[in-house]
Amino acid sequence: MDRRRYFISLLFRLSLVLVALMLAVRAIYVFEGDVGAWCLAGVFGLSAAALQIRPMLVPTPGHASAVYTPGPAFFLAGLFLVPAGPLVTCIAFALGLSGLVTAMRPHKILFNLSIAVLAYGSCSYYLKLGVESIGPPGPRPELIAGELLLGAAVLVAQLLLRSVAIRLERGDESPHWGAFQPQAVTEALFCLALSVPITVLARIHVALLAAVYLYLGFTWWFMERYRKHLRALAQETVTTEDQRRWVA
């Protein structure tokens, strides 16, 4: 990377951090939401951090395992369940804790934090989402459809910001479509679909979120067993080929 491209990329990242910091301070300063909203944001933050630390490894035969992190699904659900202040606190806690545990570089932690706070926090703050407690116990289909469209817009905004950062950093060597790669789009769709049962069950009763945790735990366990099974099959295939060569 040449010096000019480096300074432009650095200026862009610093601008994101400053704007995200001002937005987070403003959202927390308003101090909307009761104790229940802050407790729910804490639960979502812990859940997202755990999923960031231990992501799902989806095996693909003949290729390296794909890493999928369903943690942003809790951010999407919190977008409609808690006000902007608890939401940005939840995001900062989850991404900061997971980044420290996984030994992520500080500039990457700041970049991920700034993008997430700008995408989720600005949408929640300016559209006044999640202000009126948890909402109706039985959400209507049109409400769920509207939340899905808004969540998709937030995810697209995140990918757009990442694409701009990749373009400024790599220039002509940046990949086609930027951050809109198949794995990133698949992860975004999975998080969007997972956010629907989280939102619906939390509106009915918070205890029903145990069903979501059970589903995530079972999916993670199944993927781990399937990945180990494929690895064992690959080792058996290599051993059989070596034995055939030795006999020949």
**DSSP code string of the chain:** --HHHHHHHHHHHHHHHHHHHHHHHHHHHH--S-HHHHHHHHHHHHHHHHHHHS-EEEEETTEEEEEE--THHHHHHHHHHS-HHHHHHHHHHHHHHHHHHTT--HHHHHHHHHHHIIIIIHHHHHTTTT-STT--SS--HHHHHHHHHHHHHHHHHHHHHHHHHHHHHHGGGSPTTTT--HHHHHHHHHHHHHHHHHHHHHHH-GGGHHHHHHHHHHHHHHHHHHHHHHHHHHHHHHHHHHHHHHH-
- pLDDT recorded at residue 174: 83
Q: Which two tokens stand for residue 65?
A: 């395992």
List, for the chain, all residue ranges whose pLDDT scores fall below the cut of 70: 1, 62, 131-139, 236-248
Place of tokens 């490894």: 57
Report the pLDDT value the prediction gives residue 136, as an integer from 0 to 100. Answer: 54
Q: Measured between alpha carbons, how far is 187 from 155 in angstroms, rounded to an integer?
A: 10
Q: What are phi and psi of 63, to 5 degrees?
A: -135, 170
Spell out the domains of the chain, with CATH numbers in brackets. 3-212 (1.10.1760.20)
- For residue 27, the model assigns a pLDDT of 87
Check residue 127 and give its pLDDT. Answer: 87
The span from the CA of 97 to the CA of 40, in Å, is: 18
pTM of the model: 0.87
pLDDT digits (tens, 9 = 90+) for 25-46: 988 887 777 888 899 999 999 9
Report pLDDT digits (tens) over 120-162. Answer: 999 999 888 876 545 555 667 888 888 999 999 999 999 999 9
Note the pLDDT of residue 244.
Answer: 53
